[in-house]
Amino acid sequence: MGNAQLHGRLPGVQLGRAIAALAVLYFHTHLALVYFDPSQLATWRFLADRGAAGVDLFFAISGFIVCYVSAAPDYTQFSFLIKRFFRIYPLNALATLVMIVFFSRGIGGPPHEIELGRIVRSLLIVPQPAPMNAVGWTLECEVIFYLVSAVLIPLGGPRLLLVWCIAATWIGRAIEPQQPIISRVADGHYADFAAGVFAYMMVARLSPRWISSLAFLALAIVVYIFAPQLTIWSTPLACCLAVAGLALLPYAPRVFVWLGDISYGMYVWHWPVFMFLPWLAAWRHFDKANGEIWRWSLLVLVIVIASGSWILFERPINRWAARRLAHRWKVSSSPVSQGSA
């Protein structure tokens, strides 16, 4: 990308995060509506069937972002991993604690499923069959991908990372099904990470342009809708084109940029909220014909909770971590520290 864009925020990528989060939320709404009469629901079938691809888009965006931030002049493995740690772990820990409380009340699972080992693995985000917050399996993949990226990018740049992602995809496909410890390292989802890395390699030297962005996005939509009949790799291919188009997007509406900012919170919090509704509906004897109203009410509620989480919890932690890293960088690069090294 042009130098003017190298260190700036990419509004299109935030738009992509918003779309991915909303797709996953809608895809999971059927779990929240099990109490209600399905004949009274006006389900958007395409999104209900294919909204899980939002996870693939999230993975592809991660593949793009790790390459993008590694091009910054102040990039270090330490700063990258620390920022990722404070971005992911605190909120996951908070959501895990909420799920423990829910499980103790029989919400989302029986109380006997509260096990110390499961709790510890959920807090540490290490591979396991069933994290306390069920969507945590994707975070396990993300954490391992970040660790591998921090090692490989300084050694061989995005090309080496791309080779590793392709190899992990091939190995994962060859030995299916796998235990979680293996699937988090080698799995078909690494084709999505590879898609994001390759998208970065395609557009790294380009500047944002409407025509190129929209061309990539239009092609991504065509591939996603029509290519599944031709190849099992249609989703990673569509994600690659979509991320390339989003990265080149010169502008995105502020509301979608905001949704992109809170997308991690939307993703993490939607599961506890969706588990709570069936319990509440059965307890309070809600009208079973009002499921569609509750579907959209839940989506709004998750956005509100994620907004509060971002403002009061995530953003302060991220800013604190950024200030600490900036201070450490300033001290380590000062003439005095260099002279004493």
**Burial zone of 105 (CB within 10 Å; 0-12 exposed, 13-18 middle, 19+ buried):** exposed
> Mean per-residue pLDDT for 109-122?
93
**Under DSSP, is residue 110 helix (H, G, I), strand (E, B) or coil?**
coil
> Euclidean distance between the first and final Cα of the chain, in Å?
35
Whether the predicted pLDDT of 231 surpasses 50:
yes
Could you give the C-alpha distances from 89 to 92, 93, 153, 294, in angstroms and in order? 5, 6, 23, 30
**DSSP string covering 19-70, please?**
HHHHHHHHHHHHHHTTTS-GGG----HHHHHHTTHHHHHHHHHHHHHHHHHH
Banded pLDDT at 337 (limits 50, 70, 90): very low
> Mean per-residue pLDDT for 134-156?
96
**Under DSSP, is residue 233 helix (H, G, I), strand (E, B) or coil?**
coil
Q: Which of 218, 227, 288 is nearest to 249 (CA)?
A: 218
Tell me 288's DSSP state.
Answer: G
Banded pLDDT at 9 (limits 50, 70, 90): confident
Domain ranges of the chain: 3-327
**Under DSSP, is residue 211 helix (H, G, I), strand (E, B) or coil?**
helix
Banded pLDDT at 2 (limits 50, 70, 90): very low
Banded pLDDT at 293 (limits 50, 70, 90): very high
Longest dimension (CA), the chain: 74
Q: Give 234-277 pLDDT, tens digit per residue.
A: 999 999 999 999 999 999 999 999 999 999 999 999 999 999 99
> Mean per-residue pLDDT for 56-71?
97
Lowest mean pLDDT among 23-32, 168-177, 200-209: 168-177
pLDDT at residue number 229: 83
Residue 102, Cβ neighbours under 10 Å: how many? 21
Whether the predicted pLDDT of 193 surpasses 70:
yes
pLDDT at residue number 8: 61
As a whole number, the mean pLDDT across the chain is 92
pLDDT above 70 covers a percentage of the chain that reads: 93
Backbone dihedral region of 109: left (phi > 0), alpha (psi from -120 to 50 degrees) or beta? left
- Please tell me the distance from the alpha carbon of residue 107 to that of residue 129, in angstroms, as a whole number: 19
Tell me phi and psi for residue 115, to 5 degrees.
Answer: -120, 140
